[in-house]
Amino acid sequence: MQDAKLEIQMLHDRVLVKPDSAGERRSGAGIVIPATAEVARRLVWGEVLGTGAHCRTVKVGDRVLFARDDQYEVDVQGATYLVLREREVHAVATERTEHGTGLYL
């Protein structure tokens, strides 16, 4: 008998995020930085896959910036996701805004 597939519904202000790959990175000069390099308090980008009913600004499909430290990890069918509160999201990447930093990805 096969396991039934279950839909995940986030509650309250919780956000389900798939973090970008945590592999090697490159500096602006093209130097490869291994994944094992210690970087203090680095924020990471991820894609929102689910939101709770009380989330106001974050929507499914948004790219968000958050601290990976002290987040809850969950494995679903072999993939690792993070669960965090909406208030733990530092920034949301959008295509165009009337106000903001003027920085674009």
Q: What is the pTM of this model?
A: 0.69
Give residue-wise pLDDT tens across range 54-68. 988 888 888 999 887
Contacts 24+ apart (CB under 8 A), 80-83: 80/19, 81/16, 81/17, 81/18, 81/19, 81/49, 82/16, 82/17, 82/18, 82/19, 82/46, 83/10, 83/14, 83/15, 83/16, 83/17
Q: Where are the domains of the chain?
A: 9-20+41-96
Residue-wise pLDDT tens digits, 16-68: 998 886 555 666 677 776 656 655 667 888 899 889 999 888 888 889 998 87
Topology given in CATH for the domain delimited by 9-20+41-96: 10 Kd Chaperonin, Protein Cpn10; Chain O (2.30.33)
